[in-house]
């Protein structure tokens, strides 16, 4: 055996001995302990990705490790809000407030949960507390305005919308559009048509893809007797959201008033189909009644004209 081959085999044997012979001092196994903070960040990341059940599981683990982790409760509340579990959302925010009485976000989130349950008084009470903690945060004023509108207090709602508009960062155009849209609705209910139209125009200028502002502006046009404007706006709603049954109903009514009877009938038929498909039985039946009455009126008008 040549010297080169001996060297090769000796290397192989040495390699085998190193990895097969137990040593008295083996390297220790390193285990990294996961903290409550690590799990919380994991939950926040899952929230960002829209994985709300998994986010809740992460926040559950945080709370198991640290019972008084207040932010974990308030963030878990947000996940429950997304899943429409408002009872659990309220319970979580209440717990967060118990551990951290100055938790602004918890009051804000609990107010939203109360609002979604249509408990407007409880929502307003939470927003009042949030405003006391952060008087310069536009979100509490805007949310309180929406809750006040829910109670029918539209004049007070407008005051809050105005306050929110003075405090909101101007770069957040989509949020600005929402506030103008809601303030316009309050003006519309109070029959201040001109102010309502101005707000809806501003909302559309800031967010031209929001079908709600077009819908509301269409309603304002209808109230002003501008049926052509109403048809144009409801048509834009349908372009942006083809399954908006209410837009078909309102466009059908406007078309009927303009004398476009076949277009009106087509719109009401389409609306009834969408209502039925969406499981909105009451709206479906009311649309059928409206369609029946409209056909009868058209028939009567035709008979009178022939006579």
Q: Is residue 171 part of a domain?
A: no
Q: Is residue 251 part of a domain?
A: no
Q: State residue 302's pLDDT score.
A: 61
The answer, yes or no, to whether residue 8 has pLDDT greater than 80, is no
Q: State residue 177's pLDDT score.
A: 93
Q: State residue 191's pLDDT score.
A: 93
Angle formed by the axes of helices 154-167 and 173-189, nearest 10°: 160
What number is the average pLDDT over the span 269-286? 94
Q: What is the CATH number of the domain that holds 41?
A: 1.25.40.10
What number is the average pLDDT over the span 144-154? 97
Nearest to 143 by CA among 178, 117, 177: 178
What number is the average pLDDT over the span 79-85? 93
The answer, yes or no, to whether residue 130 has pLDDT greater than 80, is yes
What number is the average pLDDT over the span 147-169? 95
Token pair in block for residue 60: 């559950």
Q: Is residue 103 part of a domain?
A: yes
Are 117 and 86 a contacting pair, CB within 8 Å? yes
Structural domain including 68 reads 36-134
Between 38 and 268, residue with greater pLDDT:
268
Largest CA-CA distance found in the chain, in angstroms, rounded: 125
Domains contained in the chain, number: 1
Q: Is residue 114 part of a domain?
A: yes
Whole-number mean pLDDT of the chain?
Answer: 86
Q: State residue 24's pLDDT score.
A: 40
15-24, 52-61, 168-177, 210-219: least confidently modelled range = 15-24
What number is the average pLDDT over the span 103-119? 95
Q: State residue 304's pLDDT score.
A: 56
Q: Is residue 144 part of a domain?
A: no
Q: Is residue 222 part of a domain?
A: no
pLDDT digits 0-9 by tens, 39-68: 888 888 888 888 999 999 988 898 888 888
Please tell me the distance from the alpha carbon of residue 165 to that of residue 90, in angstroms, as a whole number: 28
Q: State residue 138's pLDDT score.
A: 94
Q: Is residue 91 part of a domain?
A: yes
Q: Is residue 245 part of a domain?
A: no
SS3 letters for the chain? CCHHHHHHHHHHHHHHHHHHCCCCCCCCCCCCCCCHHHHHHHHHHHHHCCCHHHHHHHHHHHHHHCCCCHHHHHHHHHHHHHCCCHHHHHHHHHHHHHHCCCCHHHHHHHHHHHHHCCCHHHHHHHHHHHHHHCCCCHHHHHHHHHHHHHCCCHHHHHHHHHHHHHHCCCCCHHHHHHHHHHHHHHHHHCCCHHHHHHHHHHHHHHCCCCHHHHHHHHHHHHHCCCHHHHHHHHHHHHHHCCCCHHHHHHHHHHHHHCCCHHHHHHHHHHHHHHHHHCCCHHHHHHHHHHHHHHHHHHHHHHHHHHC
pLDDT digits 0-9 by tens, 188-210: 999 999 999 999 999 999 999 99
Q: Which residue has the tokens 């022939």?
A: 306
Are 53 and 83 a contacting pair, CB within 8 Å? yes
pLDDT digits 0-9 by tens, 218-266: 999 999 999 999 999 999 999 999 999 999 999 999 999 999 999 999 9
The answer, yes or no, to whether residue 160 has pLDDT greater than 90, is yes
Q: State residue 62's pLDDT score.
A: 87
Q: Which residue has the tokens 């804000």?
A: 108
The answer, yes or no, to whether residue 281 has pLDDT greater than 60, is yes
Q: State residue 298's pLDDT score.
A: 78
């Amino acid at each position: 055996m040549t010297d080169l081959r001996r060297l090769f085999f000796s290397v192989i044997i040495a390699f085998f001995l190193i990895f097969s012979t137990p040593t008295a001092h083996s390297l220790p196994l390193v285990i990294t302990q996961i903290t409550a903070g690590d799990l919380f960040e994991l939950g926040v990341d899952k929230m960002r990705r829209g994985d709300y059940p998994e986010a809740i599981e992460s926040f559950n683990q945080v709370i198991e490790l640290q019972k008084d982790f207040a932010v974990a409760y308030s963030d878990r509340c947000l996940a429950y809000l997304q899943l429409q579990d408002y009872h659990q959302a309220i319970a979580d925010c209440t717990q967060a407030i118990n551990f951290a009485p100055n938790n602004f976000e918890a009051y804000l989130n609990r107010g939203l949960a109360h609002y979604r349950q249509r408990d407007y008084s409880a929502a307003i009470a939470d927003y009042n507390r949030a405003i006391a903690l952060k008087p310069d945060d536009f979100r509490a004023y805007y949310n309180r305005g929406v809750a006040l509108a829910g109670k029918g207090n539209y004049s007070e709602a407008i005051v809050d919308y105005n306050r929110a508009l003075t405090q909101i960062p101007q770069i957040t155009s989509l949020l600005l559009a929402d506030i103008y849209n809601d303030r316009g609705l309050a003006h519309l209910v109070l029959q201040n048509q001109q102010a309502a139209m101005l707000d809806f125009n501003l909302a559309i200028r800031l967010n031209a893809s929001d079908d709600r502002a077009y819908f509301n502006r269409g309603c304002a046009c209808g109230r002003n007797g501008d049926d052509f404007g109403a048809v144009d706006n409801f048509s834009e709603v349908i372009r942006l959201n083809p399954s908006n049954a209410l837009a078909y109903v309102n466009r059908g009514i406007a078309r009927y008033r303009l004398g476009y009877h076949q277009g009106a009938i087509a719109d009401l038929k389409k609306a009834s189909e969408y209502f039925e498909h969406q499981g909105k039985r009451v709206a479906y039946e009311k649309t059928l009644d409206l369609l029946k009455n409209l056909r009868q009126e058209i028939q009567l008008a035709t008979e009178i004209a022939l006579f």
